C-alpha cells in the first residue's frame, strides 16, 4: 500500500523541493524513531487550524526524517466530524489559560463565521490549539516510543527464556 521508494524519490516536484532528503529510508520504514517522530508531527499538526495540514505534516516528516505516510495520516485526527468538538476544547483550554470568559459560540467553518466570531476569540483559540497540539504530540510520541521499547524488551526476554529452556533440555 506504500508508494514504491524509487518512484517516490524520483518525483520531479518533490525532488526539486526536498532534494536528497527524500532518499532517507525512514520516510517509508516502520521503526521506533520514525514512528514516534511521525506521532509527534502528525498529532501536533492535526491541532493547527490551517488548511494545508497534510502538506505541512508531509514537509515536516521529510525534513525531520520520520515516517511520511503515518505523519500525514495522523493529521486526520482532526476531520470534518471531530473538528467542532476539538475546536471547542482548544478554545476552552486557551480561555482558561488566559483567564478570559468563555463565550457561547457555535463553531462553523464559513467565511462569515471567521470574519465575525473567530476575530473575537482568536487569541484563546490559537493558544489552546498550540497547547493541546503540543500536549497530544508529546503524549503520542513518547507513548509510542515507550510502548515500542516495552514490546522489544518483552521480545528479548521471551527469546532469552526460550534459549535457556533449550539449554536445560
How does pLDDT run across 111-145, given as a tens digit for each residue?
787 777 778 888 999 999 999 999 999 999 999 99
CA dist 152 and 77 (Å) reads: 27
Q: Tell me the whole-structure pTM to 2 decimals.
A: 0.80
How does pLDDT run across 68-108, given as a tens digit for each residue?
889 999 999 999 899 889 989 999 999 999 999 988 877 77
Q: Could you list the residue range(s) of the whole structural domain that residue 124 is in?
A: 5-168
DSSP state of 10: T
Cell numbers placing 156: 528479548
Picking from 23-27, 51-55, 92-96, 141-145, which range would have the lowest pLDDT averaged per residue?
23-27
Query: How many domains does the chain divide into?
Result: 1
Q: Are 121 and 148 within 8 A, CB to CB? A: no
Top-confidence residue, 57 or 119: 57
Whose CA is closest to 72, among 37, 105, 110? 37
Element (H, E) at 11: none
Amino acid at each position: 500500500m506504500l508508494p514504491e521508494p524509487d518512484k517516490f524519490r524520483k518525483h520531479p516536484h518533490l525532488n526539486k523541493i526536498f532534494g536528497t532528503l527524500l532518499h532517507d529510508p525512514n520516510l517509508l520504514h516502520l521503526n521506533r524513531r520514525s514512528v514516534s517522530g511521525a506521532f509527534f508531527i502528525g498529532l501536533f499538526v492535526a491541532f493547527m487550524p490551517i488548511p494545508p495540514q497534510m502538506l505541512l505534516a508531509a514537509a515536516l516528516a521529510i525534513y525531520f526524517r520520520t515516517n511520511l505516510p503515518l505523519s500525514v495520516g495522523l493529521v486526520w485526527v482532526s476531520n470534518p466530524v471531530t473538528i467542532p468538538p476539538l475546536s471547542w476544547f482548544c478554545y476552552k483550554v486557551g480561555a482558561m489559560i488566559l483567564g478570559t470568559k468563555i463565550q457561547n459560540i457555535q463553531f462553523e467553518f464559513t467565511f462569515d463565521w471567521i470574519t465575525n466570531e473567530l476575530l473575537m476569540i482568536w487569541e484563546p483559540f490559537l493558544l489552546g490549539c498550540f497547547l493541546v497540539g503540543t500536549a497530544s504530540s508529546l503524549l503520542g510520541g513518547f507513548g509510542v516510543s515507550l510502548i515500542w521499547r516495552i514490546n522489544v524488551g518483552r521480545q528479548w526476554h521471551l527469546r532469552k527464556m526460550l534459549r535457556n529452556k533449550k539449554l536445560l533440555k
